[in-house]
Structure 1
């Protein structure tokens, strides 16, 4: 059911009328492991993309969206509009990602 929740970054969904239910969130915090930290340290010296961190943030983004959809489904929503991401480092080895938006119900 949650996978059927439409998530869009736009304010309007073409051809749909809806009422606003409220704000929804999906949050996750991921920890970088020792191997990733060693690899990142080496990349910091020579430069280039730190693929392990890119994968970590991509995975965190996917988890945040899944949790956003679950939150919207629990509220009885059909879609989430104006979805955005926010991310931050909690500490040197922890990243948090939030997906947030407005839950809506189709008329």
Structure 2
């Protein structure tokens, strides 16, 4: 299975391409009850809430993996102009979307 190049720029040096279309990778993550309690306590004293930092990091990685899979299914070689969007659902869930434009190399 070939790896899909993902960049946040419009151009990939050394390559010309044709546009296939938009691709998305979506995931929604939550932490378990015990980590939520720990995060609530941390909220009282301040500082980084590592459980939520890890959750967002996991969500971004899963979103990128799903983005690459969708691009691969469409016959793409790469995704350009990749961006993230995220939002909270309730107090303990985080939704992350990775999106960009799937392209096929023509060189």
Equivalent residue for 2:38? Answer: 39
Measure how far apart 1:32 and its partner are: 2.2
Match of 1:67 in 2: 66
Q: Which residue of 1 aligns with 2:96?
A: 97
Q: CA deviation at 1:15?
A: 1.0
- Provide Cα deviations, 1:11-39, integer angstroms capped at 9, x if missing partner: 00011000000000000001221111111
Aligned pairs, number: 106
Gaps of 5+ in 1: none
Residue ranges of structure 2 left out of the alignment (5+ in a row): none
TM-score normalised per structure 1 = 0.96
SS in 2 for 1:53: helix
Give the TM-score taking structure 2 as reference length: 0.96
Q: 1:21-66, CA deviations, whole angstroms, 9 ceiling, x for partnerless residues?
A: 0000000001221111111111111110000000000001000000
Measured against aligned partners, the alpha-carbon deviations of 1:77-107 in whole angstroms (never above 9, x if no partner) come to 0000000001100111211000000000000
Q: 1:29 — aligned with what?
A: 28
- Structure-1 residue corresponding to 2:6: 7
The answer to whether structure 1 residue 57 and structure 2 residue 62 are counterparts is no
Distance between the aligned counterparts of 2:8 and 2:31, measured in 1? 28
